[in-house]
Amino acid sequence: MPDRGSRLLRACRRQAADATPVWFMRQAGRYMAEYRTVRAAHSLLEICKTPALAAEITITAAQRLGVDAAIIFADLLLPVEPMGMRLRFQQGQGPLLDSPLRDEAAVARLASGPAVAAELGYVAEAIRLVEQHFGGRLPVIGFAGAPFTLASYMIEGGSSRHFVGVKTLMCRLPQVWAHLMEKICGVLEPYLLAQVDAGAAAIQLFDSWVGCLSVDDYVESVLPYSERLVRAVEQRGVPVIHFGADTASLLPAMQQAGAAVLGVDWRIPLDEAWAKVEHVPAIQGNLDPAALLAPLPALRRRVEAVLKRAGGRPGHIFNTGHGILPETPVENVIAAVEIVHEFGINHG
């Protein structure tokens, strides 16, 4: 009897489950026709700010795929708006923030605190709707960007390749950097706790771009802030999935933030990543999202290769190493879910 309600949480706690839990980053996105239909009528920000729409997209994607968790439909950049920055998503260009932060005065002007987080109440409301819909049969994952990744967008004004602006601020103006991280945490902490109060069973902290840092810079300038958020959430008994891309060298340092689960991308073999943290936390990953474009036999081989590297240890959550690509056939994602679940039964 499949038990989708508890697989994810059992794995987060490193307990054995009836099958390996599986969900995907960007499981609700442009590759899915149902999403494109809603998107044709509404902008991304409109969807995020309308709990009924965000909940519908979240629920539809999770049900269509047969995954073991529903990640709430929202965006990592939403908190910048109530903090005082203008956010736009332009077709084909990704996100754009007006007047990126460059100096002390700009950081000083940013708003922070619980009242700012309360302006993001629509995300908690969407979580509440999804949680009511599933009634405990499927866990809802809440999320936020980790302080470094959110700061990188606020400083660069959009996506970046070398993160020159961020690194410049971090090393030239360390006190301004610390002030910015404090302000971000002052919003993200109450924002995440509101998601927990609304029924999120787990929280993923996306530190998507942290892999650009040296270990020393990470430990000095980023770890204390990520750790603060992880601890605030886990004190409520809710596990955190701490994800970053290209983090092979950072994993032991990231583990110090104390999350129950570390999320890794495909650049490092899953068993190597897990060994680097001595199998203490649970691990999430790490199929290359491009593998979902492959014909079924090649896809099966790649999915099973990831599962074999988990070695039957309790505490593996199957996911892609980053978001599903827009070109992905939805049937392949459904097939991957089936392969993961069957593997659990055949090898359990």
Q: What amino acid positions are annotated as catalytic residues?
A: 26, 30, 39, 75, 153
Closest to ligand CP3 by CB, 185 or 300: 185
Q: Are 71 and 58 in contact (CB under 8 A)?
A: yes
Rounded least distance, CB 93 to ligand CP3, Å: 8
Rounded least distance, CB 215 to ligand CP3, Å: 21
Rounded least distance, CB 242 to ligand CP3, Å: 13
Closest to ligand CP3 by CB, 23 or 177: 23
Interface with ligand CP3 (CB under 6 A): 25-30, 39, 44, 71, 73, 75-77, 89, 94-95, 143, 159, 206, 208, 322-323
Write out the two tokens for 300: 């099966």
Which residue has 């596990």 as its token pair?
239
Cα distance between residue 255 and residue 237, in whole Å:
18
Q: What is the DSSP string of 3-71?
A: -HHHHHHHHHTT---SS--B--TTSSSTTSHHHHHHHHHS-HHHHHH-HHHHHHHHHHHHHHHT-S-EE
Rounded least distance, CB 151 to ligand CP3, Å: 12
Closest to ligand CP3 by CB, 73 or 343: 73
Write out the two tokens for 189: 């902490």
Closest to ligand CP3 by CB, 24 or 218: 24
**Burial 37-47, CB ≥16 within 10 A → b, else e:** ebbeeeeeeeb
Cβ-proximal residue to ligand CP3, closest one: 208
Q: Are 288 and 324 in contact (CB under 8 A)?
A: no
Closest to ligand CP3 by CB, 215 or 325: 325
R_g (Cα) of the chain, nearest Å: 19
CA distances from 309 to 13, 218, 270, 340 (A): 19, 28, 6, 13
Closest to ligand CP3 by CB, 223 or 324: 324
Write out the two tokens for 227: 């750790």
Residues 6+ apart with CB under 8 A from 295: none
Reference 325, options 27, 36, 73; nearest CA is 27
Rounded least distance, CB 69 to ligand CP3, Å: 11
Rounded least distance, CB 132 to ligand CP3, Å: 19
Which residue has 């991280």 as its token pair?
181
